[in-house]
A = this chain, B = another copy of it.
């Protein structure tokens, strides 16, 4: 049994031997998390890029990395690798430990105006940090420095708005396809941009239903396709099968120059690369852009996100589009300059290995929570390789508010983040089980049936248990 003191404590709580983690394979987490550096000639180099000192000119349409602050990995021989300040971890707010070093930043009005790769006269900016962070993500998603363009956004929504806008500019008459469990910002984008939008059905898991996708594609073959692929849906944490989406497009006769895929990474875009069995998000596949939220998994005191796309798309736009004469391909002109510094600091401190550890911890804890719920007779589902546990909506709204649960219809969910400990989960479970005993003491009040939402096999309602 993959266990620890914490896990043993909880077995006692349930008065019996519960093999809580039987489904969880810790080796599912990628053990060589350091992504190779993709270089010009297509070859890969494993390790750091510190020896690359080639000088690059500042040219529109070429990325400037010479003056950026590279994110470095923590020392691999350090006992604390992956969390240089590990002893401080576990505080309720992920960024508590950053406060000491970064408090002075509030003195400054830091504004990253316009394109991160084009020099600006405004003096108080943090573009060096921004480009350092972007390079880190470009490496994670396997795109060469000179091949990508990106920026640090204000939130996940801005990433989606940008990715879909790039898609529309590439294919002005393209149809936007998105599963109905996509984030609402995707449908907002369609309306804002006056795009034709087709909603695609989902499986019980929350993933896009590629059979339905195929059925929706066929009558619209005359128009290019712009597809939003969810790397972790908001409610169920479902990861759309990127490979199957691409395969479906190909089978329907779409060549690579007739579709554009935007990957909405939200929370899981940063977790997935560290999970072995997950469909890999990489620019080696025919995708156009990836966005991810920065304030979620990385942790940052203000909402922010990262958006990466292919530089060819941005260059094509800048040749054609009047508004890019201003050389600003972002959605917002002024951008918060604090966020890049926080992100850079955290990436530096944790490194790829630190994230790997945190992903492992989150997945393990999420499995633990789901298993405990099922053992206690509570309907619950956990998508393979997700840290979002979906379960029956608590009857008491006060309970929902106090535990900060997000609800939709009959279901609630908990996203198991790095700061959610086994102790906290135990407290939560204990209270939930106690409360349920009172909510459902009268036989007339029954716990809801979730078979439609999470499948019969995950439902523990009176009918299905």
Q: Which residues of chain B are near A335, meaning CB under 8 Å?
A: 154-155, 303
| A434 CB-CB contact with B under 8 Å | no
- A155 near B332: Cβ-Cβ < 8 Å: yes
Q: A93 contacts which of B108, B303, B400 (Cβ < 8 Å)?
A: B108
Give per-residue flags for A139-156: 1 if the beta carbon is below 8 A from chain B beta carbons, else 0: 000000000000000111
- A332 near B158: Cβ-Cβ < 8 Å: yes
Question: In angstroms, how far is the closest chain B Cβ from the Cβ of A329?
Answer: 10
A234→B445 CA distance, assembly (Å): 63
A165→B189 CA distance, assembly (Å): 12
Using A192-B165, A332-B155 as known contacts, say yes or no to A109 and B123 having CB atoms under 8 A apart.
no
- A301 near B110: Cβ-Cβ < 8 Å: yes
| A406 CB-CB contact with B under 8 Å | yes
Question: In angstroms, how far is the closest chain B Cβ from the Cβ of A14?
Answer: 29
| A410 CB-CB contact with B under 8 Å | no
Name the interface residues of A281-304: CB closer than 8 Å to any CB of B. Answer: 293, 295, 299-303
Q: Which residues of chain B are near A406, meaning CB under 8 Å?
A: 121
| A205 CB-CB contact with B under 8 Å | no
A404→B107 CA distance, assembly (Å): 19
| A191 CB-CB contact with B under 8 Å | yes
| Listed stretches A180-188, A214-222, A307-315; interface member | A180-188
A4→B191 CA distance, assembly (Å): 57
A157→B98 CA distance, assembly (Å): 30
Give per-residue flags for A157-195: 1 if the beta carbon is below 8 A from chain B beta carbons, else 0: 110010001000000000000000001110110011110
Q: Which residues of chain B are near A187, meaning CB under 8 Å?
A: 322-323
A156→B334 CA distance, assembly (Å): 8
Question: In angstroms, how far is the closest chain B Cβ from the Cβ of A165?
Answer: 6
A177→B11 CA distance, assembly (Å): 68
Question: What are 29 inter-chain pairs, A to B, with CB distance below 8 A?
Answer: A93-B107, A95-B107, A95-B109, A96-B107, A99-B106, A99-B107, A102-B106, A105-B301, A108-B301, A109-B302, A110-B301, A121-B400, A121-B404, A121-B406, A155-B332, A155-B333, A155-B335, A157-B331, A157-B332, A184-B333, A188-B323, A192-B192, A193-B193, A295-B334, A302-B336, A303-B332, A303-B334, A303-B335, A336-B336
